[in-house]
């Protein structure tokens, strides 16, 4: 029996990288026989960000009132990530990107069965290497590393393909009152924030128990 996990996230959210890592640790902790189908859904923390992005220091200083406040928040995620074996290298980040193109690439990768590879490539390119994931050349490179075709990805990014689909998925998240990320929908069980693997594991087990019970009831109806 397969359990559906829908993770709504944005690629510039450090807690989404931590949450994604913890989700897969939770999945590894499951008993044999429980399969999990993970789908990533888009959310833009900065939907009005200019297409070319913005200098990170300038943007974060405006958003949080000062660069010192931004650095304190960064330090908190560095400490949290260290416990999960994740490296955040904020000193290498120069740009806060517009993430629409990255979400479109994720949508394309889902059609090709390569979404996890692309998602992890995007998150680590931004947080561990400080790369501009709003830049099409960077996105093409990440896509190729994930096994997608360079020419078709470049043509896709230069078009508007996938934009309506991403916008529709974002609208669905808004309709479901998703206000922050990461957000997990585990067969209707909601888990918000980068929770510990044990909590995510328990939510998956609860969903499995409920789904098995519902299936049994249907078979006996």
Tokens representing 203 are 């939510």
What pLDDT, in 10s, does the model give residues 176-218?
A: 888 899 999 999 999 999 999 999 999 999 999 998 887 766 6
Q: How far apart are CA 156 and CA 171, in angstroms?
A: 22
What pLDDT, in 10s, does the model give residues 58-98?
A: 999 999 999 999 999 999 999 999 989 999 999 999 999 99
Domain boundaries, the chain: 2-220
Looking at the whole model, is its pTM more than 0.85?
A: yes
Is it the case that residue 221 has pLDDT exceeding 80? no
DSSP structure string for the chain: -EEEEEEEE-TT-HHHHHHHHHHHHHHHTSPTT-EEEEEEEE--S-TT--TT-EEHHHHHHHHHSSHHHHHHHHHHHHHHHHHTT----GGG--EE---HHHHHHHHHHHHTT-HHHHHHHHHHHHHTT---TTSHHHHHHHHHHTT--HHHHHHHHHS-TTHHHHHHHHHHHHHTT--SSSEEEETTEEEESS--HHHHHHHHHHHHHHHHHHHHHHHH-
Angle (deg, nearest 10), helices 136-145 and 150-158: 150
Q: How far apart are CA 76 and CA 34, in angstroms?
A: 34
Is it the case that residue 220 has pLDDT exceeding 80? no
Tokens representing 128 are 């561990």
Is it the case that residue 219 has pLDDT exceeding 60? no
CATH class of 2-220: alpha beta
């Amino acid at each position: 029996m397969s359990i559906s996990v829908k993770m709504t996230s944005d690629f510039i959210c450090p807690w989404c990288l931590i949450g994604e890592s913890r989700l897969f640790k939770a999945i590894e902790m499951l008993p044999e026989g429980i399969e999990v189908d993970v789908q990533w859904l888009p959310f833009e923390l900065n939907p009005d960000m200019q297409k070319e992005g913005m200098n990170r220091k300038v943007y974060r200083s405006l958003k949080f009132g000062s660069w010192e406040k931004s650095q304190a928040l960064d330090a908190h995620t560095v400490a949290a990530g260290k416990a999960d074996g994740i490296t955040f290298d904020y000193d290498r980040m120069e740009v806060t990107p517009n993430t629409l193109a990255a979400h479109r690439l994720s949508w394309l990768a889902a059609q090709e069965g390569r979404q996890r590879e692309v998602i992890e490539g995007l998150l680590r390119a931004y947080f561990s290497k400080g790369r501009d994931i709003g830049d099409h050349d960077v996105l093409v490179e990440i896509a190729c590393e994930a096994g997608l075709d360079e020419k078709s990805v470049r043509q896709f990014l230069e078009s508007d393909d996938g934009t309506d689909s991403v916008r529709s998925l974002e609208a669905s998240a808004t309709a479901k009152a998703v206000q922050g990320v990461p957000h997990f929908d585990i067969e209707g069980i909601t888990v918000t924030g980068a929770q510990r693997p044990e909590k995510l594991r328990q939510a998956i087990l609860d969903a499995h128990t409920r789904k098995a019970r519902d299936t049994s009831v249907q078979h006996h109806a």
